[in-house]
Amino acid sequence: MSELNLILFGPPGAGKGTQADRLRNDFRLPFISTGDMLRGNVKEGTELGQEAQKYMDAGELVPDELIVKMAAERLNESDALDGFILDGFPRTIEQAKALDKQLTEVGRRVTAAILVDVPDQEVVRRISGRRLCVKSGHNYHVDFDPPKREGVCDQDGSRLIQRDDDKDEVVRNRLKVYHDQTEPLIDYFDDQGLMRRIDGTRSPAEVHDHIRAVIATLRMEDDV
Ligand code: ADP
Ligand code: ADP
């Protein structure tokens, strides 16, 4: 059976991170989130983190050359050589082309791009209630997925915080950036027959089942 090289994408707040936590347990594939990697760099104060932070705070995309280099290095690590799930990358046509080029050079290709689709109004509701565990980034929502104890992570007891870029005015800009720069990827992947759409407005469990079914079908198609 050949490898699964998957892209998970969709508007901010669509539930990609939530699904990542679940899919990690289902498939032995590394889950690579460029947003998490950038936040790690900001926290550690690396040169990349310092450069990226101003874009992230404004809800803008970090320039392609910085992101492409960071993602390429990560994909070259040994755990990603037999497949991966990418979250939040590629986010522009330029990035998608760079990824294709990197994979093609070593005889690999993207298996599918899974779009978790959610309308803007729902995005705003989800992001305004999103809370993250300060230690390992576990995801919660104050109404839709509350922790057992308010403000405390169920999994490791750490404090829950709101991301700086989850404040209202930044969210509106992130949505605009998504529509302008990332949505064109739908046609890009469609043209290559790689697009799979998921209704992200369903419950986390239903979305999870749907994504698993899509991946199971991809595996079967690959086996025949
Ligand atoms: P979201 O909640 O929008 O899915 P992420 O955690 O994926 O957010 O990303 C947070 C921020 O990190 C983005 O708003 C952007 O500034 C930056 N970022 C993450 N991935 C990319 C990328 N592939 N290209 C450019 N910027 C990125
Ligand atoms: P993304 O990684 O796509 O930016 P998240 O997984 O962080 O999105 O989800 C955004 C917020 O919405 C979180 O607070 C999360 O708990 C909540 N959420 C995720 N999936 C669903 C869902 N299917 N229904 C309702 N709320 C959800």
4-30+77-119+171-223: CATH topology = Rossmann fold (3.40.50)
What percentage of the chain has pLDDT greater than the value 70? 99
Alpha carbon of 172 to ligand 1 centroid (Å): 14
Residues 74, 33: Cα–Cα separation, whole Å = 10
Q: Is the pLDDT of residue 224 over 80?
A: no
Closest atom of ligand 2 to 12 CA is: 4
Q: For the segment 78-88, what is each residue's pLDDT rounded down to a tens digit?
A: 999 999 999 99
Predicted confidence band of residue 114 (pLDDT cuts 50, 70, 90): very high
Which of 144, 161, 170 for a ligand 2 pocket mutation test, highest count of atoms within 8 Å of Cβ? Answer: 144
CA separation for the pair 77, 166 (Å, rounded): 31
Question: What is the CA(92)–ligand 1 centre distance, in A?
Answer: 11
DSSP E strands in the chain: the ranges are: 4-9, 31-33, 83-87, 112-117, 130-133, 139-141, 160-161, 195-199
CB 71 within 8 A of CB 162: no
Residue that the structure tokens 């089942």 belong to: 209
Q: What pLDDT is attached to residue 223?
A: 65
Q: How do the domains of the chain map onto residue ranges?
A: 4-30+77-119+171-223
15-70 per-position pLDDT tens digit: 998 898 888 888 888 999 999 999 999 999 999 999 999 999 999 999 999 999 99
Q: How far is the CA of 165 from the centre of ligand 2 (A)?
A: 15
Q: How high is the mean pLDDT of the chain?
A: 93
